[in-house]
Amino acid sequence: MSRKVLLIEDEPNIAEAIRFLLTREGWQVEIHGDGTDALQVIQGAQPDLVILDVMLPGKSGMDILRDLREMEELASLPVLMLTARGQSRDREMAENAGVSRFMTKPFSNAEVLTAVRDLHAQATQM
C-alpha cells in the first residue's frame, strides 16, 4: 500500500523538516509551496494524506480545504492543517470547513508523526 503525503507549505525550512521526518518513516513526500494551483496538484498527486498550511501565497489553506470538501472524489481525503495562528477562531473555521486534524506551529516531530499515523490509519479503515 502506498503511503504518500502531499505537503502544501511555503516555508522551506518547515517543509524540509517535515519531509525529512516523514521520509525517514517510509512516507513518500511531495512538496508544493503555492495555494493558487494547490487543488490541481492534489488531484494530480493523488496522495493518501494532505498536510496543508493555512497561510499560503495565492490562496489560503482554508479556501483550499473548503474546495476540497466540495469535490466528491476528494471529500474524504485526510487533511492535517498547520498554522502559526493558533486562535480558537482559526481552529473553529478549520473544523467547520472539514479539517481532519489541526496543529499549531511550532510543533514537535512526535506530534506530526502521531497525527499522520492516526489520520492514515483512520483513512485505511474506511
User: What pLDDT is recorded for position 50?
Assistant: 98
Tell me the domain boundaries of the chain: 4-121
User: What pLDDT is recorded for position 87?
Assistant: 80
User: What pLDDT is recorded for position 124?
Assistant: 86
Residue 54 is given by DSSP the state: S
What phi and psi, each to the nearest 5 degrees, are found at residue 121?
A: -65, -45
Q: Is the pLDDT of residue 1 over 60?
A: no
Average pLDDT score over residue span 111-116: 96
Q: Using pLDDT thresholds of 50, 70 and 90, give the confidence band for residue 57.
A: very high
Q: Is the pLDDT of residue 27 over 80?
A: yes
User: Is 64 or 87 the better-scoring residue by pLDDT?
Assistant: 64
Query: What cell was used for 87?
Result: 486562535
* Level-2 CATH architecture, domain 4-121: 3-Layer(aba) Sandwich (3.40)
Average pLDDT score over residue span 74-99: 91
User: What pLDDT is recorded for position 84?
Assistant: 86
Nearest to 102 by CA among 48, 34, 111: 111
